[in-house]
Amino acid sequence: MRIAVGSDHAGWPLKESLVAYLMGRGWDVEDFGTFGPESVDYPDYAQKVAEAVARADVDRGLLICGSGQGMCMVANKVDRVRAALANDPVSARLSRQHNDANVLTMGARMVAPALAQEILDTWLTTEFEGGRHLRRVEKIGEIERNGPSR
């Protein structure tokens, strides 16, 4: 599985830790940055990762900022992306089982590195259940294709 990773300056230290963790476990990682502590704008990195997922250049995406909220909001603006904020393993598991989330966002100010690894492991190894959940995920795609209700 190929994973695109991105962060802003607040998420950079955790991103670095998780990239090393993923590579150590044999995952194929494409790091979109940022690559240091200098202040940057999270939408720039969220968009790069989300578009890589939407184009199917990668299988999944991981985004990290201070809270995880901003990255999640931006990623969900990209068609075919279903980003989920998960700062605990249960949310990560359910985002995959029920929503087929293809981008995970986390808050570096919310989770310690060991917990972030557990969340990421859970998210990467949980399969989408399909069934009744597939119908709901397909409705998300319909909303993307049809635009806002009038």
Answer yes or no: 72 catalytic.
no
Residue entry with tokens 């991105």: 6
| Selection from 133, 99, 104, 127 nearest residue 3 by Cα | 104
Tell me how far CA of residue 132 lies from CA of 16, 63, 67, in angstroms: 37, 28, 31
Residue 65 a catalytic site member: yes
Catalytic residue among 9, 72, 98, 133: 98
- How far is the C-alpha of 25 from the C-alpha of 75, rounded, in Å? 26
Helices 12-24 and 113-125, interaxial angle, to 10°?
A: 50
Q: Classify residue 26 by its DSSP letter.
A: T
* Residue tagged active-site, from 9, 65, 72, 133: 65
- SS3 for 51-81 is HHHHCCCCCEEEEEECCCHHHHHHHCCCCCC
Report the catalytic residues.
65, 98
